[in-house]
Amino acid sequence: MNGNFADYHVPVNADIGELDVQFVGSPDTHFNALGVRGIGEIGITGVPAAIANAVYHATGVRVRDLPITLDKVAPQTNTTA
C-alpha cells in the first residue's frame, strides 16, 4: 500500500507489451452496425466493485450504485431539527 498517489505505479504505454489483434469468423451485425466486438472491457469489470469496497473500508459507507460521489458517501445531516 502506498501513502499517497504520487508513489502509486500507474502503467503506461512502455509497460504494455505487443498487442495481437485477431479476427474471428464472420461479422456479427446483430451486435452493432460494424459487426465487431471488443473484449478489452471484460478484464476491468471488477474494478468498480474493488473501488466500492475500498470506499466502504475507508468510510464505513456501502455505496451500491455508480458513480460513487461524495454526496453518497458523506452522512446526511438534518438541519431542520
pLDDT tens-digit readout, 34-80: 877 777 666 677 888 999 999 999 999 999 999 999 999 986 655 55
pLDDT at 23 over 70: yes
pTM above 0.85, yes or no: no
Q: Where do the structural domains in the chain lie, given as residue ranges?
A: 19-73
Given a cut of 60, is residue 28 above it in pLDDT?
Answer: yes
Q: CB–CB of 63/56 below 8 Å?
A: yes
Task: Select from 38, 67, 37, 45 the least CA-distant residue to 55.
Answer: 67
Q: Is 41 a catalytic residue?
A: yes
The residue-averaged pLDDT of 28-39 equals 78
Q: Which of 18, 41, 65, 71 is labelled catalytic? A: 41
- Total Cβ atoms within 10 A of residue 26: 7
